[in-house]
Structures are given as C-alpha cells and as structure tokens.
Amino acid sequence: MTTPAAGRDTEPHESFATAQVQAGYTPGVPQNTAVTPIYQSNGYEFPSLAHARDVFALRQMGNVYSRNANPTQAVFEKRVAALEGGRAAVAVSSGQAAAAAAILALASAGHHIVAARQLYGGTVDLLSDSLGTLGIEVTYVDQDDPDAWRRAVRPETRAFFAETITNPLATVLDIRAVADLAHEAGVPLVVDNTVASPYLVRPGEHGADIVIHSATKYIGGHGVALGGIVVDIGSFDFGADPEKWPQFTTPYDRFGDLVLWDRFADEGLALIVYIKTRFIHDFGTTLPAWSSFQFLQGLETLDMRMQRHSESALAVARFLNAHPEVERVWHPGLSSSPWHGLAQRYLPRGASSVFSFDLATTGDPVRDDERVTAVIDGLRLIHLVANIGDARSMVNHPASMTHYHLTADQLRAAQISPRTIRLSIGLEDPTDLIADLAHALAALEG
C-alpha cells in the first residue's frame, strides 16, 4: 500500500511506515506565527554535508542539536540581551547553572574569584564547595568596602562577583564603584541581577561586564519553570591581555586553529560561544524549548509586574518598620536604610520586593526562635516557600532554609540573624498582605 506524502508532493512516500514518520512536514518552511512558537525538536536537518561541516566547525552559525541551542531559546536569549543592553546571551537550565557557567568560562584550576560576602546562600555553596573542588579559590569581602575588594586581588584573580540587590537583606551594590575596581584589577565584574531584573536596573550601564539571572524568578514571574541566563554586555576586552585569557585568544582545542576572540569579538559572541560549546555541550545544562516559551510569556509583562511588586513591597516595609515587634527592616526604599542613597541612584523605578525584617529579641535564643516560628506559621496569605519572584507572596527563614549551609561566622558576616525573616512580595493587594502580617505579629504582642 502506498500513501501520498501530504505537503511533500515532490517526495512521495512509498509506505505507511515512512509516511507516519515524515508526511506533512517540510523542514525550514516558515509558518508566519505572530507569537514565538515552541520548536520542540531534538535535532535539525542540514541542507547539505558542506553546510553541516561549516556549522560544526563554527565557520557558520546554525542549529545543531537542542542540547546546545534551540530556536525558541534563541529568541529568549536575544530578548533578554536587548533588555539588559548586552551584545548576546546564553540561556541555561537554572540560575545556579548560569552562575556556574559564567565563572567557569573565566576561571579554572589555580584561579581566584573575589566575591561579595552578602551573596545568596546557594551561590556561596557553589563558589566555596563545588568550584572549590575544581581548584578555584574564592575570597569573600564586604561589598560596601572598596579597600576590601582591592586588597583581595591576586595575580590569578579572574573575576569579581556580586548581586545588584542581595538576597535576603536587599542591600544595594555600588555597581560603578565595584566595576571600576574590577577593571583596575584587569578582570570583569559579573553581576547577578535576579532580584532587580533589567527593568529596575541595567548593570551594564554602570560598568558591569557580565550579567546573570535566575529566570526562574522575576523574568518568568509565574513560578512554573526553572531557567537561567548569562548576558555578555560586550564591554570587557579579553584581547587586551591575551596571556590572561587563553581560552579566548589562543586556538580553541575543539575547533582546530579557530581563535574565539578573532572569530567572534566583533559580534560580541566569544564568551557566549565558549559557554555553549564547552559547558552546555559537556554538562547538558540545557534550557528546554517549553521553558523558553514560558519565560518569553513572562517577559511580556515584566515592567508592569515589577512596578506592582516594588510599590507593594515598600508599603509592607513601611508597615513593618513601624511595628513594635520588629527590630529592623532591611529595605533600601526606606529613608533609614544605609543603602537608600544607592537605591535612589541605581533603582529610580523602584526598589526590591525581596527584603527581610528582624523580629525584636527577647534576649532568650529559644524564645526568639519560638517567636519566629509563631509569625511564619501564623501567616495565611503569605506562603512558606523557598522561591522568590513569584506572583504569590512568600516567606522564608534564611538561617534554617536558603542559607542553612552557611557557618555561624558566615551568617554573622552576612548580617543574617536567627530572627531574620525574608519576604518576597507578590502581586496581591498590599492591604491584604499587611493585614496578614499584622495578624501573625499580633500573637507576639504582650
């Protein structure tokens, strides 16, 4: 029995088995969809062996295999790069994968990173433990101390690393000052911009060279997909000191005599191609096409969501700041915050919707812990979840959850107390959220 190939009149199929695999589809035919489609394909067809050879040798760019790249993912990468004012971007499977890829592209065994001690706990785990076992050393410094950054630099230093708005205390990085110190040391500044999003601040405009995000958070905004992204702003000249950056300025061992900086510097793709062809290719930290599509949907409302997040969070912070059972509120939008001036400078559209507050102490650590438990368990609208950046408001206890792996000294250095409670304010009515907090805190009064 023969079955005609629907849509392939020039290639009739001679059997049912062939038709059930190939009929009705011609690779490469545009479908003129208004919305970015989900390209749910593992592999991609080449028009000729010559073309395939050029793509595999990086003489020509193109889709090869969805572990490395996918057309839906490519749209997401271009959109985030545009929002950050960068030259190019590479999407990966999580924010943690983005941090790892950015650091591993710059440093290897024997190299050194200078990082802010105020980093998110999971990032500290990555830098100190996992990358430490690979021979990359890290020195943590107070991000607000310029001399500490400068003193920590070594000849083998390859990057500075910090967050624009820290998690959980919402301290604000002086991006320009730290970027200038990094460039003085001859290394790029890598900034995690997850909490701010490119709507509240574009770090590249203030000197940062590489920007990463956990797209899982505000970029998506819906709490249903994991992903991360690395954006190369294109401001750091790896060719200015070629001996320091052989991965970009000497022949790439996988591609013969190809030198990434010579081939891709003008397009701003050297770092991105290196991450794709080495770390994503080898480790398989792939962002699925479906997740890329979900992040594109989230990006379409990023500005409106960030405005609502920021306005509501500031209202909640002001309520907490006036409450007698609260000792301190870590929100840079408050005039009492040491980072208020930096927030006004770098975050004119709104400050963080992720912030923390410290309950007043009783002087008894056991009783203080009971009070923390009572407040968190007494919340009804604000949910106990480890995530941030969702449409739903969430609460977290950093010392026993997200920052649990930090030592007591590290927690003290980061100013995270056992009485610190983190909030991620969502898109609900702030009046309802304030009432929920008031109800939970009322149990402590008297």
CATH code of the region 69-298: 3.40.640.10
With beta carbons less than 8 A apart as the criterion, state whether 264 and 270 touch: yes
> β-strands 228-232, 88-92: how paired?
antiparallel
Tokens of 152: 């920590």
pLDDT of residue 23: 66
Give domain limits for the chain: 69-298, 302-442
Tokens of 177: 């000052």
* DSSP letter for each residue of 35-63: S------SB---S-HHHHHHHHTTSS---
pLDDT of residue 313: 98
Size of the chain in residues:
446
Homologous superfamily of domain range 302-442: Aspartate Aminotransferase, domain 1 (3.90.1150.10)
d(CA 209, CA 232): 6
Under DSSP, is residue 18 helix (H, G, I), strand (E, B) or coil? helix
d(CA 42, CA 319): 51
> Going by C-beta distance under 8 Å and a sequence separation of 6 or more, which residues neighbour residue 274?
105, 247, 248, 252, 260
With beta carbons less than 8 A apart as the criterion, state whether 92 and 105 touch: no
CA triple 337-341-346, angle to 5 deg: 115
Tokens of 415: 């100013």
With beta carbons less than 8 A apart as the criterion, state whether 267 and 88 touch: yes
With beta carbons less than 8 A apart as the criterion, state whether 270 and 258 touch: no
Q: At what angle do helices 71-84 and 289-299 cross, to 10 degrees?
A: 30
Q: Any bridge partners for residue 422, and if so which?
A: 356, 396
d(CA 200, CA 195): 9
Q: Any bridge partners for residue 159, and if so which?
A: 113
Q: Any bridge partners for residue 355, and if so which?
A: 423
> Going by C-beta distance under 8 Å and a sequence separation of 6 or more, which residues neighbour residue 444?
325, 359, 371, 374, 375
CA triple 191-192-198, angle to 5 deg: 95
CA triple 151-154-155, angle to 5 deg: 145
d(CA 413, CA 14): 72
Q: Determine the distance from the C-alpha atom of residue 49 to the mean position of all C-alpha atoms in its chain, rounded to a whole number.
A: 38
Tokens of 418: 């056992």
Residue of 275, 203, 197, 188 whose CA lies nearest to 236:
188
d(CA 382, CA 425): 8
Residue of 256, 242, 207 whose CA lies nearest to 53:
256
Per-residue pLDDT tens digits of the chain, which is 446 residues long:
333 333 344 455 678 677 666 766 778 878 888 889 999 999 999 999 999 999 999 999 999 999 988 999 999 999 999 999 999 999 999 999 999 999 999 999 999 999 999 999 889 999 999 999 999 999 999 999 999 999 999 999 999 999 999 999 999 999 999 999 999 999 999 999 999 999 999 999 999 999 999 999 999 999 999 999 999 999 999 999 999 999 999 999 999 999 999 999 999 999 999 999 999 999 999 999 999 999 999 999 999 999 999 999 999 999 999 999 999 999 999 999 999 999 999 999 999 899 999 999 999 999 999 999 999 999 999 999 999 999 999 999 999 998 888 888 888 888 899 999 999 999 999 999 999 999 999 999 85
CA-based radius of gyration for the chain: 24
> Going by C-beta distance under 8 Å and a sequence separation of 6 or more, which residues neighbour residue 368?
359, 361, 362, 418, 419
Tell me 275's DSSP state. I
d(CA 445, CA 357): 17
Tokens of 12: 């009739």
d(CA 386, CA 89): 27
Tell me 287's DSSP state. P
With beta carbons less than 8 A apart as the criterion, state whether 89 and 231 touch: yes
pLDDT of residue 403: 84
- Judge residue 10's burial from the number of C-beta atoms within 10 Å of its C-beta, 0-12 exposed, 13-18 middle, 19 or more buried: exposed
pLDDT of residue 404: 83
d(CA 198, CA 215): 11
